[in-house]
Amino acid sequence: MSDASLVFHQDFPVKGGDFAKAGAVACRIKELLKDLGFDSWTVRRAAIVVYEAEMNVVMYATDAQVALSVAPGSVRLVVDDRGPGIPDVDLAMTEGYTTATAEMRELGFGAGMGLPNIKKNADDFHIESEVGRGTRLDITIRTNGHGTS
């Protein structure tokens, strides 16, 4: 995505441990993408990606920034967190693998579906993680010409 094609960019902070506000960024981004004219399927995929990422930050990280970049026909989401990092990314990408606590599971999360579900809803998905520093997700969702025309 070149800067020339960028039509919208906004950064959103997410605080680790703040379960009460988890989902607020996903709902905000969902409204923004609707207002920008994206189709409902693209909006839903982006919202699910952000929500899963937000929950991961809330459950495991200290804080994070979610960067939303919109270009004609695509939505890019970069989630950069400061946190413990993931020792084995391949294992973390396995459906059902989790290190969640009982408290997290009682909230309905931590079932080991977060990262696989983010990948499922992305057209391009990249993950980098460094133990002791944090994790960076780079996701692109493409549409079929809908939105931000």
Partner 1 sequence: MIVLKDVLALLDGELLTSPTSPDAAFEKVFASDLMSDVLHSAEPGALLVTGLANSHVVSTCAVADLAGIVFVQGKRPAADVVGAAQARSLPLIATKMTMFEACSRMAGRLEDGGHVRR
Burial code (b: 16+ CB inside 10 Å, e: under 16) for 97-126 equals ebebeeebeeeebbebebbbbbbebbeebe
Give the pair of three-digit tokens for residue 70. Answer: 């919109």
C-beta closer to partner 1: residue 54 or 80: 54
Stretch that binds partner 1, among 5-13, 66-74, 115-123, 128-136 (CB under 8 A): 115-123
Q: Binder to partner 1 among 38, 66, 75, 114 (CB under 8 A)? A: 114
Phi, psi of 80 (to 5 degrees): -115, 115
Residues making up the chain, counted from first to last: 149
Per CB under 8 A, which of residues 31..90 are in contact with partner 1? 40, 44, 47-48, 51-52
Contact residues for partner 1, defined by CB under 8 A: 19-20, 22-23, 26-27, 30, 40, 44, 47-48, 51-52, 107-114, 116-117, 120
